[in-house]
């Protein structure tokens, strides 16, 4: 009898399982639209020029790698605050934002979840239906009961906003509401600024705790535009959480660069919150790694590199939009009768294509075109070379 004989095999991660199946597929035309990764028009993961320049500068003045402070690089944390709230904003100036460097956006979410669990152990967590797969798992692992609020309306091909608002209104005070700040994953449907006003007002009236997940700032409409939820929550006087990820916006997936920011009511409160966040970090992984954070801090804090980053980010954003337009046109040209125009109303990396499970399985098995069973496709993995094949394949299964 082994210590581990009762250990059950955990279910495979659905996306990683899809990647394995893709790797084993011998179809020469295969296309992987299952991932949540931006590829350039040559199907390559970009290494941004701003990142390369920052790394070159770092190599010219090599530094020893001591432990970082528990909350990370000070220049990084302040760059995150400036990006999320604005360098001249009142919360940054008054010092009422507690920010810690995290291991990607996931790390920021987890530190926040652990802190919230200690703060209010009986609170429930609300996530959108559907949401990023890991939201439910992460908050459940942190000890919360996770429920979902209505979001996607398949018939309307958009957001069931009335349903969403009604579910938020019905939530008990103290409920943590995880909101996708922009580029909703998996659907690609965001709510409008006017709808954000209503969501924020509902959150405030119901004394809910907003947790904004910002994994795609700059991938939707622009860096400032994608911050609309933050500015509105700020203007409403709320205390709230923001997790930031630079995985996509810097194409630094493997460096695990992200952050958690908590907007408090004053500096004294922020200092106390920060001290607790540090305990969450200290008892999990002690302190964050140096490289990715140094690169991002250097890019964000050096005007010339910052301008280059904004340009490169705009390039990625524009290419995704072009792919959306091309997808609609080419699906039509390939003979798809139904209006697929909804694809251009979606934003960010993903598109809920409206295809059902059977169609997605056929796409995969017969054509080597991989998306998730829910119909989600990564538009950021389309390019001028694979899009015709993808459209022709979709046309055959619709």
Footprint of ligand PLP (CB under 6 A): 36, 104-106, 132, 180, 185, 213, 215, 245, 247, 258
Q: What distance in Å separates the CA atoms of residue 184 and residue 340, rounded to the nearest whole number?
A: 19
- Looking at the Cβ atoms of 91 and 348, the one nearer to ligand PLP is 348
Residue count of the chain, please give it.
398
Whether the Cβ atoms of residue 243 and residue 112 lie closer than 8 Å to each other: yes
Closest separation in Å from C-beta 352 to ligand PLP:
14
- Looking at the Cβ atoms of 240 and 367, the one nearer to ligand PLP is 240
b or e along 76-100 (b: 16 or more beta carbons within 10 Å of the residue's beta carbon)? bbbbbbbbbbbeebebbeeebbbbb
- Looking at the Cβ atoms of 220 and 368, the one nearer to ligand PLP is 220
Closest separation in Å from C-beta 106 to ligand PLP:
3
Closest separation in Å from C-beta 350 to ligand PLP:
8
- Please state, in angstroms and as integers, the Cα–Cα distance from residue 268 to each residue in 91, 92, 261, 279, following that order: 12, 13, 15, 17
Catalytic residues: 132, 213, 248
176: which strand partners?
A: 125, 209
| Residue nearest to ligand PLP as judged by C-beta position | 104
Q: What distance in Å separates the CA atoms of residue 376 and residue 224, rounded to the nearest whole number?
A: 27
Closest separation in Å from C-beta 213 to ligand PLP:
5
HEC secondary structure over the chain? CCCCCCCCCCCCCHHHHHHHHHHHCCCCCCEECCCCCCCCCCCCCCCCHHHHHHHHHHHHCCCCCCCCCCCCCHHHHHHHHHHHHCCCCHHHHHCCEEEEEEEHHHHHHHHHHHHHHHHCCCCEEEEEECCCHHHHHHHHHCCCEEEEEECEECCCCEECHHHHHHHHHHCCCCCEEEEECCCCCCCCCCCCHHHHHHHHHHHHHCCCEEEEEECCCCCCCCCCHHHHHHHHHHHCCCCEEEEEECCCCCCCHHHCEEEEEEECCCHHHHHHHHHHHHHHHHCCCCCCCCHHHHHHHHHHHCHHHHHHHHHHHHHHHHHHHHHHHHHHHHHHHCCCCCCCHHHHHCCCCEEECCCCHHHHHHHHHHHCEECCCCCEEEHHHCCCCCHHHHHHHHHHHC
Closest separation in Å from C-beta 79 to ligand PLP:
16
- Looking at the Cβ atoms of 182 and 398, the one nearer to ligand PLP is 182
Closest separation in Å from C-beta 103 to ligand PLP:
7
Residue 250 preceded by cis peptide, ω within 30: no
Closest separation in Å from C-beta 204 to ligand PLP:
23
- Looking at the Cβ atoms of 151 and 367, the one nearer to ligand PLP is 151
Closest separation in Å from C-beta 266 to ligand PLP:
29
């Amino acid at each position: 009898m082994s210590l581990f004989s009762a250990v059950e095999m955990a279910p495979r991660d659905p996306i990683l399982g899809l990647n394995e199946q893709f790797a084993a597929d011998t179809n020469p035309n295969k296309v992987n639209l299952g991932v949540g990764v931006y590829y350039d028009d040559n199907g390559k993961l970009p290494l941004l020029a701003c990142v390369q320049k920052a790394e070159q500068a770092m190599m010219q003045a090599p530094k020893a790698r001591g432990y970082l402070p528990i909350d990370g690089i000070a220049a990084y944390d302040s760059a995150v605050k400036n990006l999320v709230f604005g360098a001249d904003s009142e919360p940054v100036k008054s010092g009422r934002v507690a920010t810690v460097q995290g291991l990607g956006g996931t790390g920021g979410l987890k530190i926040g979840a652990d802190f919230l669990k200690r703060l209010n152990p009986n609170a429930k967590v609300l996530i959108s239906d559907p949401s990023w797969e890991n939201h439910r798992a992460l908050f459940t692992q942190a000890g919360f009961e996770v429920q979902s609020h209505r979001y996607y309306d398949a018939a309307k091909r958009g957001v069931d906003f009335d349903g969403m608002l009604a579910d938020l209104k019905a939530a008990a005070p103290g409920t943590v509401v995880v909101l996708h700040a922009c580029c909703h994953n998996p659907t690609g449907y965001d709510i409008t600024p006017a709808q954000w006003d209503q969501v924020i007002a509902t959150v405030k009236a119901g004394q809910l705790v907003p947790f904004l997940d910002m994994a795609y700032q700059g991938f939707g409409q622009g860096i400032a535009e994608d911050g609309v939820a933050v500015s509105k929550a700020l203007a409403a006087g709320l205390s709230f959480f923001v997790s930031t990820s630079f995985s996509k916006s810097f194409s630094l997936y493997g460096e695990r660069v992200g952050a958690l920011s908590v907007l408090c009511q004053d500096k004294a409160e922020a200092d106390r919150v920060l001290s607790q966040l540090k305990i969450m970090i200290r008892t999990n992984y002690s302190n964050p790694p140096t490289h990715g954070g140094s690169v991002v801090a250097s890019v964000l804090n050096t005007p010339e590199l910052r301008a280059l980053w904004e340009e490169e980010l705009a390039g990625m954003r524009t290419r995704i939009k072009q792919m959306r337009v091309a997808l609609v046109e080419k699906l039509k040209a390939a003979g798809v009768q139904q209006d697929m125009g909804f694809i251009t109303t979606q934003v960010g990396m993903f598109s809920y294509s409206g295809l059902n499970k059977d169609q997605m399985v056929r796409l995969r098995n017969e054509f080597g075109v991989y998306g998730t069973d829910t119909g989600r496709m990564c538009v950021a993995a389309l390019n001028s070379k694979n899009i015709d094949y993808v459209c022709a394949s979709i046309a055959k299964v619709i």
